[in-house]
């Protein structure tokens, strides 16, 4: 280990001591799955969320990469044989529309951005990464198999679905999950998802639905029986709040007439599999699902995600795994976001940080150190060039 990582892991200041505790917590993750996995206890699997290819990488993506890689390296120090997965999420209505707007063939559009995220993995000096694209043929086969298992086990049915749909989130919201406010650009009153702040529109259509409501009690029991399975505590409480307020069945397909860019529903070419079902299965695809009779690394020991996608990973994903008879993730680490000057980063404000430029300016080790030292797990971290320099001079 070089001097940088000795400092991160050695404790010292309260923040670093906390980091050391959290890494030890993740690297010694105990099994909490309701289905017993057959993987070796010496194998340790860390996942990054697969990044959506509608835009270039930003500093938040870099933080996720560095955080997951740091956990992986710490597990290696404990003598574990590790796997770190990463990749890109390339299906969905948002991608279809973005490619059309750019005047590009959809797969070429996806490849352009996927290559950029792959380049960031390399620039970040991560450990060996199993990189997956949801447009890979092996992933198509895995998703089709997963869908068929759910059908065979009676967890999918066809029905009318109506709700407030956010294209940006690729998700439906209930009446209690939206609010009405003034659009700053047009001055019109519009409806938005409270959770993400994205605009919504009313959609009614016939879809395939997953019996999510039937898994509410099992999900509550899973989380309450394993206090660290969703981390930090603020996210665990958030998830329990959602579950205890009730779950509705989940729409898991879209009409092919509206969404062509995705994996067709097996035996029904008029429908496309919901992008989040497609995307979540990647964590199994990476470990050879469904061709392997015995998993080598699945289930994940630590799944690193941003706090904005914790619902998909801590509610939908474990419910889908329960339904398919697969083991559950051992920990879900939902980290906070990054601000600049305590303001949310956005292109319109001109305060988005390009990770490639930051690496070029400060060097990879100092920047990795700053991200782990100042990054937030429960609370948002604040990025500033001045603070990167201060950390370098004072700590390194």
Mean pLDDT for the chain overall: 89
**Position with higher pLDDT, 173 vs 5:** 173
pLDDT band at 22 (very low <50, low <70, confident <90, very high): low
pLDDT value at position 169?
A: 79
Q: Say which residue, 208 or 200, is predicted with more confidence.
A: 208
Pairing mode, strands 268-273 and 253-255: antiparallel
- Per DSSP (E only), the strands in 211-252 are 230-231, 250-251
What is the model's pLDDT at position 26?
52
364 token code pair: 């990879």
* Residue 360 to residue 375: CA distance in whole angstroms: 20
Lowest mean pLDDT among 38-52, 185-199, 249-263, 317-331: 185-199
Residue length of the chain: 396
Of 328, 321, 333, 335, which is closest to residue 300 (Cα–Cα)?
Answer: 328
The per-residue pLDDT for 348 is 65
Q: Which of 308, 354, 369 lies closest to 119 in space, CA to CA?
A: 354
Q: How does strand 129-133 pair with strand 81-89?
A: parallel
The pTM score is 0.86
Q: CA 293, CA 271: separation in Å to the nearest integer? A: 30
Q: What was the pLDDT predicted at 4?
A: 36
The pLDDT of residue 36: 39
Pairing of strands 264-265, 250-251: unpaired
Judge whether residue 25 has pLDDT over 80.
no
Q: Pick from 134, 98, 88, 102: which is nearest to 273 by CA?
A: 134
What are the distances in angstroms from CA 168 to CA 59, 130, 315? 20, 27, 20
**How is 91-130 classified by DSSP, letter by letter?**
-SHHHHHHHHHHT--HHHHHHHHHHHHHHHHHHTT-S-EE
Report the range of poorest mean pLDDT among 137-151, 256-270, 290-304, 366-380: 290-304
Which residues have CB under 8 Å from 313's CB, separation 6+? 49, 280, 303, 305, 329, 332, 334
360-371 pLDDT, tens digit per residue, is 999 999 999 999
pLDDT digits (tens, 9 = 90+) for 332-391: 999 999 998 888 887 667 778 999 999 999 999 999 999 999 999 999 999 999 999 999
Other beta carbons within 10 Å of 127: 16
Beta-bridge mates of residue 77: none
Tokens of 254: 């879209």
pLDDT value of residue 10: 34
Calpha distance 86→60 (Å, rounded): 15
Cβ atoms of 96 and 167 closer than 8 Å: no
* Tally: H helices and E strands in the chain: 15, 19
pLDDT(3) > 90: no
Span 232-264, pLDDT tens digits: 999 999 999 999 999 999 999 999 998 999 999
**Partner residues linked to 231 by β-bridges:** 333
**pLDDT score, position 20:** 52
């Amino acid at each position: 280990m070089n001097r940088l990582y000795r400092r991160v892991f050695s404790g010292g200041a309260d923040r670093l001591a906390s980091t050391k505790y959290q890494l030890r917590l993740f690297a010694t993750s105990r099994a909490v799955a309701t289905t017993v996995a057959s993987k070796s206890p010496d194998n340790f699997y860390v996942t990054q969320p697969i990044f959506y290819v509608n835009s270039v990488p930003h500093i938040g993506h870099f933080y996720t990469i560095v955080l997951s890689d740091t956990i992986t390296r710490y597990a290696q120090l404990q003598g574990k044989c590790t796997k770190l997965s990463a990749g890109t999420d390339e299906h969905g209505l948002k991608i279809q529309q973005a490619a059309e707007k750019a005047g590009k063939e959809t797969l070429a559009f996806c490849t352009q951005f996927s290559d950029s995220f792959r380049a960031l993995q390399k620039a970040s000096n991560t450990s060996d990464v199993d990189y997956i694209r949801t447009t890979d043929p092996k992933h198509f086969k895995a998703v089709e198999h997963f869908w068929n298992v759910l059908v065979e086990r009676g967890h999918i049915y066809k029905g009318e679905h109506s709700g407030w749909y956010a294209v940006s989130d690729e998700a439906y919201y209930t009446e209690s999950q939206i609010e009405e406010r003034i659009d700053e650009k047009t001055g019109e009153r519009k409806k938005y998802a409270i959770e993400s702040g994205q605009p919504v529109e009313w959609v009614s259509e016939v879809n395939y639905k997953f019996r999510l409501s039937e898994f509410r009690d099992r999900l509550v029991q899973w989380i309450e029986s394993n206090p660290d399975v969703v981390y930090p505590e603020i996210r665990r409480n958030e998830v329990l709040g959602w579950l205890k307020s009730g779950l509705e069945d989940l729409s898991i397909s879209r009409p092919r007439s509206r969404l062509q860019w995705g994996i067709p529903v097996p035996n029904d070419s008029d429908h496309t599999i919901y992008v989040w079902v497609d995307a979540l299965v990647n964590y199994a695809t990476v470990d050879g699902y469904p061709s392997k009779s015995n998993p080598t690394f699945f289930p994940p020991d630590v799944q690193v995600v941003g706090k904005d996608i914790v619902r998909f990973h801590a509610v939908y994903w474990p419910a889908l795994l329960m339904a398919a008879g697969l083991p559950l993730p051992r920990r879900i680490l939902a980290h906070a976001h990054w601000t600049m000057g305590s303001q949310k980063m956005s292109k319109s404000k001109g305060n988005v940080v390009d990770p490639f430029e930051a690496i070029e300016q400060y060097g990879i080790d100092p920047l990795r150190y700053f991200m782990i030292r100042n990054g937030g797990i429960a609370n948002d971290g604040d990025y500033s060039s001045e603070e990167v320099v201060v950390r370098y001079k004072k700590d390194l």
